[in-house]
Amino acid sequence: MELLENLKWRYATKKFDFGKKVNDEDLEKLKEAIQLAVSSYGLQLYKVLIISEEKLKEKLRTVSWDQSQITDASHLFVFCNYSERNDKHVDDYIKAVSDIQQTPMEKLEGYQNLIKQSLGSKNDDEWQSWSQKQTYLAMSNLLTACAELKIDACPIEGFESEKYNEILGLGQKGLNACVIVPVGYRSNDDHTQFRKKVRKPMAELFEMV
């Protein structure tokens, strides 16, 4: 299974080669992999910013624990969850289902109400947590797609979310920077690439019932 080999090849890249850039064709494939991510009800409650502008990356590095991956990577993917509940997310989704799957809106009304009811029952903290979980699933697709394309990546939570929201003007769009992923190519002198993977043994990780 080639996927397993790719997953063994990938690692959380600590040092990127600044001179190597991801080409447009591969970038489109990565975007499509994110687009195809699973999400609860299919709502995709997130937006992804892809930043390649060097000055902006430099600014973001200062609020990302000065991690060099932010500036050295080819592109910085900023996964943002929608921070506020809004029935429009549901209405837009149902409209898309109706258009794409050629189903009359009336037939989807029950489902539409059920989703709204379920979302409405969440308090603010539950909403944040839930919409962020969806966002992480999309991020995971990016990491897997990168591995298949032999593109390096590093998932990063070590950044100041509030500062990202300010710098990127996310608040006014109802968005919140949730997790980020610099993407590019490993530097030859990134020694972490030679470290053995540390994972729990199968017997500890799984229980066959």
Ligand X SMILES: Cc1cc2nc3c(=O)[nH]c(=O)nc-3n(C[C@H](O)[C@H](O)[C@H](O)COP(=O)(O)O)c2cc1C
Residue showing the smallest CB distance to ligand X in the complex: 158
Closer CB to ligand X, residue 34 or residue 156?
156
H-run or E-run covering 47: strand 46-51
Write out the two tokens for 207. Answer: 């229980």
Smallest gap from residue 113 Cβ to ligand X (A): 34
Shortest separation between residue 16's beta carbon and ligand X, angstroms: 11
Q: Can you state the angle between helices 124-149 and 2-9, rounded to 10 degrees?
A: 100
* Identity at 103, one-letter amino acid code: T
Contact partners, residue 181, CB within 8 Å, separation at least 6 = 76, 77, 79, 139, 142, 143, 153, 154, 155, 156
| Surface-to-core class of residue 68, CB atoms within 10 Å of its CB (0-12 exposed, 13-18 middle, 19+ buried) | middle
Q: Which residue, 55 or 197, has its beta carbon nearer to ligand X?
A: 197
Rounded to the nearest whole angstrom, what is the least distance from the CB of residue 8 to ligand X in the complex?
9
Nearer to ligand X, 76 or 94 (CB): 76
Minimum CB separation from ligand X for residue 11, in Å?
A: 3
Cβ proximity to ligand X, 198 vs 209, nearer residue: 198
Q: Which residues bind ligand X (CB under 6 A)?
A: 11-12, 14, 67, 154-158, 179, 197
